[in-house]
Amino acid sequence: MIDHRRLGRDLELFVSDPLAGAGLPIWLPAGAAARHAVEEYVRELERRAGYRHVYSPPLGRRELFERSGHLGWFADDMFPPMRLSADDEFVLRPALCPHHALVFAARGRSYRELPLRVAELGGMYRAERSGVLGGLSRVRAISLNDAHNFCAPEQVGDEVREILRLIREAHAALGVRPAGFRLSVRGPGQRYVGDDAGWARAEDLLRTALDGVDAVEAPGEAAFYGPKIDVQIVDAAGRESTISTVQLDFDKPERFDLSYTDSDGSRKRPVMVHRSLVGSMERLFAYLIEVHQGAFPPWYAPVQVLLLPTGDAQADAARRLCREAEAAGLRAEVDESGSLGARVRDAARRRIPYVGVLGAREVADGSVSLRLRDGRGLDPMPRADALRLVGAVVASRSADLLPPA
Ligand SMILES: [Zn+2]
């Protein structure tokens, strides 16, 4: 299995430049195209599941992170505050929860609005030591698929089960194969907020929500504010890490004094459920690059169709078909330089799922010959049919290269 750093370089997905800084990779056009497709998919999945998306800045006043507890409990993992003036200090956020608590607090809330699911693919920062950084798997600037679901206490069990269902759906579409589920609970020698009874109740809630899922209990792996369910993956080097997570938090609603009006008119405290379906874009892609060895499912392949005219006389037809493919919503390119054999080999090296060859015969009868990434070749077919075929596979988000017969 080839390491994602080497594939990332060979396929021009991302670059790490010492001048920009360790753990601060730059996504190149091919990597950005794949990531964009994945981000759109996740946003759509969340939208259909009742999430509301917001934008919030990756930087905030020091007081916000004192209120959230991050500066008290988590300061070692954060960049030092930046002083703008004597009474104004700013912090690069290590998590999105404080801003999302302020979304909940933006106005009075009723029990009818719950669960209120606030989602954002947002930036956050961790002051990782330079020795542990590498490629996309450990970075200092993190783009997290995040959400905070504010629930009435009695809704938490169903909400966690629904989140686990969404996690499984997203994994199936992306080709993520989890190594296992982990119930991360309190452990000795760690600091935690809240009382024992609250922790025991929260841990029981998660145990119940797991409901038949085989999970390993991991003492000491809980967040400082609550227990969590983590979905683990293993990378090419055999290192285990968390890709998806569901965390219960009774502490931040308290700190931000969050409340809603219940059906009897009384004020109640919501529970905050932190969840990420697919983790950060960086760690997700480090994993996807390795697990697919760069051959992404067609729906998020950087270039889906590469068109190869056999000679100069076919170049115009290839460019025309490329524009038609783009108009149909596909990512397409034309490669005109060099021998046909060399261009076919280069397409294979780039793991492009579909190569369309246009020779004199194809141009004369308005057809194209498709070759699939796995070596199969299809008989020449009308150009519109070829675009429909690729479009159908992309729309299905299947990993197969042909639609079901
Ligand atoms: Zn959070």
DSSP string, 336-396: -SS-HHHHHHHHHHTT-SEEEEE-HHHHHHTEEEEEETTS-B---EEHHHHHHHHHHHHHH
* Distance of CA 148 from the midpoint of ligand 1 (Å): 6
* Distance of CA 4 from the midpoint of ligand 1 (Å): 28
This prediction's pTM:
0.95
* Distance of CA 184 from the midpoint of ligand 1 (Å): 16
What's the average model confidence in pLDDT over 87-108? 97
* Distance of CA 252 from the midpoint of ligand 1 (Å): 9
Per-residue pLDDT of 245-288, as tens digits, reads: 999 998 899 999 999 999 999 999 999 999 999 999 999 999 99
Per-residue pLDDT band at 8 (split at 50, 70, 90): very high
Per-residue pLDDT of 166-198, as tens digits, reads: 999 999 999 999 999 999 999 887 778 888 888
pLDDT over 80 (residue 38): yes
The tokens of 27 are what?
């996504």
Measured CA to CA, the distance from residue 138 to residue 129 in angstroms comes to 10
Element (H, E) at 168: helix 156-174
* Distance of CA 117 from the midpoint of ligand 1 (Å): 12
Of all residues in the chain, what percent carry a pLDDT higher than 70? 100
What's the average model confidence in pLDDT over 66-73? 93
Nearest to residue 247, comparing CAs of 113, 146, 103, 100? 146
* Distance of CA 115 from the midpoint of ligand 1 (Å): 16
* Distance of CA 147 from the midpoint of ligand 1 (Å): 7
* Distance of CA 200 from the midpoint of ligand 1 (Å): 20
pLDDT at res. 180: 94
Measured CA to CA, the distance from residue 122 to residue 115 in angstroms comes to 21
Nearest to residue 90, comparing CAs of 60, 114, 131, 115? 60
pLDDT at res. 73: 86
pLDDT at res. 369: 96
* Distance of CA 83 from the midpoint of ligand 1 (Å): 25
Task: Please give the C-alpha separations between residue 350 and each of 28, 289, 304, in angstroms, as whole numbers.
Answer: 14, 12, 11
How many Cα atoms are found within 13 Å in the side-chain-facing hemisphere of 197?
0
* Distance of CA 179 from the midpoint of ligand 1 (Å): 23
pLDDT at res. 297: 98
* Distance of CA 401 from the midpoint of ligand 1 (Å): 37
* Distance of CA 372 from the midpoint of ligand 1 (Å): 42
* Distance of CA 70 from the midpoint of ligand 1 (Å): 11
* Distance of CA 174 from the midpoint of ligand 1 (Å): 23
pLDDT at res. 215: 93
Q: Find the DSSP H helices in 85-148.
A: 97-104
pLDDT at res. 260: 98
134 CB-contact burial (10 Å; exposed 0-12 / middle 13-18 / buried 19+)? middle
What's the average model confidence in pLDDT over 294-322? 97
* Distance of CA 296 from the midpoint of ligand 1 (Å): 29
Task: Give the chain's count of helices (H) and strands (E).
Answer: 13, 20
pLDDT over 90 (residue 129): no
Of all residues in the chain, what percent carry a pLDDT higher than 90? 87
Mean pLDDT score across all residues of the chain: 95
Q: In this structure, are residues 116 and 88 in contact, taking their beta carbons and an 8 Å threshold?
A: no
Measured CA to CA, the distance from residue 170 to residue 186 in angstroms comes to 28
Candidate from 126-140, 307-321, 330-344, 363-377 with smallest mean pLDDT: 126-140
* Distance of CA 211 from the midpoint of ligand 1 (Å): 24
What's the average model confidence in pLDDT over 308-327? 97
Q: Which residues pair with 183 in a beta bridge?
A: 217, 229
